[in-house]
Amino acid sequence: MHLQNMKIMSNSVFQILLLLVSITVQAAGAAPRLTRPNCAETCGNVTIPFPFGLGAGCFLDDWYEIVCQQNHTVPILNKIGLRVLNISLPTFRSDGDGMIKVSFPVIYSNASCQGHGLRELASLEESNFFFSQKWNVFTLVGCDTVATVTSKDSAGIVFTSAGCRSKCAGNNSNIRWSSACSGRDGCCQTTLPINLQAFSVDIKEEGGQQGCKYAFLAERSWFSKSDATGLYDLRVNVMVPVVLQWGIQNTTNDSFALRNESEGTDAVSCYTNKQPWECWCREGYSGNPYFIGGCQGVGAGVAALLLCLFLWRLYKYIKKRKEIKLKEKYFKRNGGLLLESELSSPQGNVEKSKLFNSKDLEKATDNFNEDRILGQGGQGTVYKGMLTDGKIVAIKKSKVIDEGKVEQFINEILILSQIKHRNVVKLLGCCLEIEVPLLVYEFIPNGTLYQYLHNPNEEFHVSWDTRLRIATEISGALFYLHSAASIPIYHRDIKSTNILLDEKYQAKVADFGTSKSVSLDQTHVTTLVQGTFGYLDPEYFQSSQFTDKSDVYSFGVVLVELLTSQKPISSLREQEGRSLAAYFIISMEQNHLFDIMDAQVLKEGKKEEIVSVANLAKRCLHLNGRSRPTMKEVAMELEGIRKLQNPSGIQQNQEDREATESYAAAFPSSKSNINMDVITFSDVQPLLPSETW
């Protein structure tokens, strides 16, 4: 709950921080507005800054009106009908004139050209637009030809302003593109007067050379960028880019730039000694100078972003420190310091255990996704996970443990980490740095014995040999826990759902969540009654004293399940026989044993084998614990029954030999000779169970 609250708080802080960042960036002018409010800023891929605009109320006057044609993709300067290629605002740099680039036609071509004739030119008179002298060049193409440019000044006086002559050394068909265009090879160039708003062109032939001859104005950079292979590729219907310089009149009432200048705004400067005015944002500012407050400080934006970055890093640092402190708190509360102390003790016989990182386990289980759940029970929930090294594991998320029982919990981890028996699920490690401890086990793929017996595959029948082998393996594991381990362990929750089956369907005893370790001189442990109805020792239920014989009783119920394939508790049986243990005992006393046996058992098992196992189960279920056999005796007897199936003793596999050696080990004198290979939590093997814990 603490971790969840911290995450909620962190998310709230994060949302607030994002809001502050957004407000700060907007306030700093990270993206200054270039148009009037509620006006479109682009047409196609062209940005339209004020005083230009799209739609009523968005432009300064008719000369600045842009219409967006061809499905809102092509901007047109409406007053003169030319397509707009680009619009730029003036800048504080010397070359930062306000410019608008438009598509302009080839001016003139003679009869030898396709589509010949004089093209009517757009006039810029009475506007604040001029043909840029700096960015445009006039070009004549044709052999032995002279072009004369006639223009008109602002007072309306007509005069000859410019011209150039082109010559050819040979046939004009050999004329090819030349960036120099020096007057030879049929091409010449010149500049036009400053502040030119209208002009006309007169072309005269000086020699006998015939061919297409034409003149045009174009942006200087277009010549170097064009991929044309020759000037004769141009025709009268071809459009070329031309740059117009623009400004605003100081008599315009709606000129925000003029107000800015007259009010002495530090962010804006204007050329006031010429017409039209050009205004720009001063160095250190950006935006649109034609708005009041349109120029915003660049430094303020950078400072705001740096502040946001600092706040973000500070938030991450504080969040990480809180997570570290909380992990330290949980680690200490869950007994991590005690575990580390025991592991580092020179007297300890436990190798270094694996302490897993909580983030690694969250990642392994997809943040404990419900789809990863293998089983649930009173002690916790088990998830299937994959570690970073690709190993599949089962991760048990325990319920919150009593702080008063932390020492006992850690002691059990230490004990279980020492268990190395082929029929006991391996504990690979733990994670103690979150609110509830996580235990990591090897993964056992084939589910539980309960599922195997009570939900069998229709095409797969549990043979008598398999049942007898599983019973022998379980009894061997319990004998090991009771008698051969360095410290005796009582499982306290033996049931078919806690018996897992590996890829070879070998039994694995699992779930030591309620297990107890006892000293050698102890005969029982006194606890609150815990267990599963149907498997619970009646004597333990009455006395609260759990002994090794209580595990024997629970195993007896599992043995009856193997014989009958019936569930430990069933409402389908008669009232007095809802408990499988009671039903079994009554059936034996009434000489109806074979009436309740599983059909597969009757079909494959020998009568004497079935009777021997049934009598053993009956002894395990004796109401008086002292009359029950020990797990050592149970294991030895089941092994003996299995040997009767193979009287010659030939072909006994390695696993059987290992089991025989384990079961026949002398107790207690042989303990010091037992090979107690300690399992280390770093020995990450395949992973854990599909079981209902």
Q: What backbone phi and psi angles, to 5 degrees, belong to 575?
A: -50, -45
**Strands 53-54 and 65-69, sheet pairing:** parallel
In the prediction, which pLDDT does 174 show?
47
Share the mean pLDDT of the chain. 77
Give tens-digit pLDDT for 490-499: 888 899 999 9
HEC sequence for 430-489: EECCCCCCEEEEECCCCCEHHHHHHCCCCCCCCCHHHHHHHHHHHHHHHHHHHHHCCCCE
Q: Residue 205 in contact with residue 194, Cβ under 8 Å?
A: no
What torsion, rounded to 10 degrees, do the Cα atoms 244, 248, 249, 250 define? -150
In the prediction, which pLDDT does 665 show?
38
pLDDT over 90 at 477, yes or no: yes
Domain made up of 449-673: CATH architecture? Orthogonal Bundle (1.10)
Q: Which residue has the higher pLDDT, 38 or 28?
A: 38
Give the tokens for residue 191: 């500049």
Q: How far apart are CA 129 and CA 195, in angstroms?
A: 8
Q: Residue 324 in contact with residue 333, Cβ under 8 Å?
A: no
Average pLDDT over residues 282-288: 83
Q: How far apart are CA 436 and CA 438, in angstroms?
A: 7
Q: How far apart are CA 83 and CA 104, in angstroms?
A: 8
In the prediction, which pLDDT does 308 show?
80
In the prediction, which pLDDT does 45 show?
93
pLDDT over 80 at 536, yes or no: yes
Band (515; pLDDT cuts 50, 70, 90): low
In the prediction, which pLDDT does 627 show?
95
> Comparing C-alpha atoms, which of 75, 41, 46, 52 is closest to residue 246?
52
> Comparing C-alpha atoms, which of 215, 219, 194, 201 is closest to residue 136?
219
Q: Residue 469 in contact with residue 641, Cβ under 8 Å?
A: no
> Comparing C-alpha atoms, which of 685, 680, 682, 676 is closest to residue 351?
680
Q: Residue 513 in contact with residue 531, Cβ under 8 Å?
A: no
Give tens-digit pLDDT for 159-169: 777 888 888 87
**Strands 136-141 and 187-190, sheet pairing:** antiparallel
Average pLDDT over residues 52-71: 92
Q: Residue 462 in contact with residue 565, Cβ under 8 Å?
A: yes
Average pLDDT over residues 407-432: 80
In the prediction, which pLDDT does 22 show?
58
**Residue 294 contacts by C-beta under 8 Å, 6 or more apart in sequence?**
32, 33, 256, 281, 287, 288
> Comparing C-alpha atoms, which of 200, 432, 470 is closest to residue 331?
432
In the prediction, which pLDDT does 692 show?
30
pLDDT over 60 at 244, yes or no: yes
Band (690; pLDDT cuts 50, 70, 90): very low
pLDDT over 50 at 686, yes or no: no
Residues that are catalytic: 493
Q: Which residue has the higher pLDDT, 108 or 421?
A: 421
Band (297; pLDDT cuts 50, 70, 90): confident
User: Considering the entire predicted model, what is its pTM?
Assistant: 0.52
Give tens-digit pLDDT for 587-639: 999 999 999 999 999 999 999 999 999 999 999 999 999 999 999 999 999 99
Q: How far apart are CA 671 and CA 663, in angstroms?
A: 13
Sequence spans of domains, the chain: 99-246, 332-442, 449-673
Average pLDDT over residues 418-444: 87
If DSSP codes are grouped into helix, strand and coil, which group holds residue 668? coil
For residue 493, list its beta bridge partners: none
Give tens-digit pLDDT for 351-387: 455 788 889 999 999 999 999 998 886 667 889 999 9
Q: How far apart are CA 50 and CA 35, in angstroms?
A: 5
> Percent of the chain beyond pLDDT 90?
31
pLDDT over 90 at 44, yes or no: yes
Residue 187: its H or E element? strand 187-190
pLDDT over 50 at 653, yes or no: no
In the prediction, which pLDDT does 681 show?
24
pLDDT over 50 at 261, yes or no: yes
Average pLDDT over residues 394-421: 74
In the prediction, which pLDDT does 408 show?
63
Amino acid letter for position 529: V
Name the CATH topology of 332-442. Answer: Phosphorylase Kinase; domain 1 (3.30.200)
Band (345; pLDDT cuts 50, 70, 90): low
For residue 448, list its beta bridge partners: 500
Band (663; pLDDT cuts 50, 70, 90): very low
Give tens-digit pLDDT for 560-572: 999 999 999 988 7
